[in-house]
Amino acid sequence: MSAGWSGDAPAVPSTPQAAASRFTGRTVTASRPLTGTLTEVSLDDGRVVVVKRGDRPDALRAEAAGLRWLADAGTVRVPRVHGHDGRWLVTDRVPDGRPGERAALRFGRDLAALHLSGAPAFGSPPPGGCEDAYIGLAPMRNATGDDWPRWYAEHRVLPYLRRAVDDGVLRPGEAAVIEDVLERLPELAGPAEPPARLHGDLWNGNVLWGADGQVHLIDPAAHGGHRETDLAMLRLFGCPHLQRVLDGYREVSPLADGWQERIGLHQLFPLLVHAVLFGRGYAEQALAAARTALR
């Protein structure tokens, strides 16, 4: 039996060019690296794809499942998934464009429609996705729940808070401030809402302004969650024409009263993830968000 084979399964491609050819069925005509893990590959039919190399098979599986789940809603634009295996993910390339107010307004409307398409439960993974998934480089567990405050505390904030303390990024006394927020979540969370279909990692780097005049989303950590979490992450890391995005969003799905006061509450999750990955500066931002939420 040849190395790299298991039964009748095809061998995993050894290069991004081979992966592109395998999953599209086309001949590669050119390629160029984009980053350490991304390669742009041109095909003989004129299309261009991006090949992503990954060292964690579950992460690629979760990303592919997330892109397909978002696409199934028929709302936001996402690159088509051509295929994936334990090492490679092949998707369409989004030609670069420039941010514009018209695209931002449409994106807001589409994002609201995506959220309204719903999810079976808070924390539910996409069909074909993983319970043990990732947000960026950090593990993210998609355990489900019906009560958002309890689920958010247990599965989105506490795992990273505990690790931040264990790693010395946060002191126990500082962690107590965030724990106070979690204890008060039922009163701070606002009106109960059904689970929304979230992108889940909606920072500016995952929002691509395409040459077609539309916004395309990449690299999701998709799951069922609270729609304000996606909006809070857009604000946390900046988004061109954010006010127009919000205008479009509220045309389709008005936000509950007090949503602006809850932004810091929803930012605790991504800030603690970043504190675990990148250190003290983000821990201090998480503390500031917690103190604001408690006012």
| Catalytic residue positions, numbered | 201
3-state DSSP helix/strand/coil % of the chain, to nearest 5: 45, 20, 35
Cα–Cα distance between 68 and 37 in angstroms, integer? Answer: 21
In angstroms, rounded to a whole number, what is the distance separating the alpha carbons of residues 286 and 56? Answer: 28
Identify which of 81, 76, 42 has the alpha carbon closest to the alpha carbon of residue 65.
81
Query: What does the buried/exposed string (b/e) look like for 83-93 if buried means 16 or more CB atoms within 10 Å of the residue's CB?
Result: ebbebbbbbbb
Q: What are the C-alpha distances in Å from 113 to residues 7, 187, 215?
A: 44, 27, 14
Secondary structure class of 31 (helix, strand, coil): strand
Q: How large is the angle between the packed helices 227-236 and 101-116, nearest 10 degrees?
A: 150
Q: Which residues contact 77 (CB under 8 A, 6 or more apart)?
A: 110, 210, 214, 215, 216, 217
Amino acid at 143: A
Contact 106/248 with Cβ under 8 angstroms? yes
CA angle 213, 73, 156 (to 5 degrees): 100
Torsion of CA 150, 183, 267, 248, to 10 degrees: 60
